[in-house]
Amino acid sequence: MEVNGQMIGTLSYYIEDPQSMWIETGIVMYQTADWNKGCGTKAMKCWITYLFQALPIVRIGLTTWSGNVRMMSVGTKLGMQVEGRMRKCRIVDGIYYDSIRMGMLREEWEAHHSS
């Protein structure tokens, strides 16, 4: 992901289940100075649009942890729903957090982002 000629992050996906083509996607922003500027949300919107156009998928997912409020906010802004919560299965700085699974179906994406 590039902004004004600078690499500020990376977008990725992996296939969780090849039979159903269930994929998970994610984003890494390299510097905290680039957080909270909307770049991640804009990049994820473009990325998910591309993935739905390029791949024969019916669903896309995003998994994060309950302490990552910004990532959960990105998912919510893009119209994703919380589909699952595994309690206290992530440890960050010695504190237990929940794992949060969010997702969206192709038809939901198209209805939410038709313009």
Pick the CATH number of 2-112 from 3.40.1160.10, 3.40.630.30, 2.30.40.10, 3.30.1360.200: 3.40.630.30
What letter represents residue 28's amino acid?
V
% of the chain residues with pLDDT over 70: 97
64 residue type, one letter = T
The Cα 66–Cα 111 span in angstroms is 27
Task: Report how far residue 43's alpha carbon sits from residue 45's, in angstroms, rounded to the nearest whole number.
Answer: 5
Proportion of the chain above pLDDT 90, given as a percent: 73
Domain boundaries, the chain: 2-112
Residue 110: its H or E element: helix 106-112
The Cα diameter of the chain in Å comes to: 44
Q: pLDDT tens across 56-97, in order?
A: 999 999 999 999 999 999 999 999 999 999 999 999 999 999
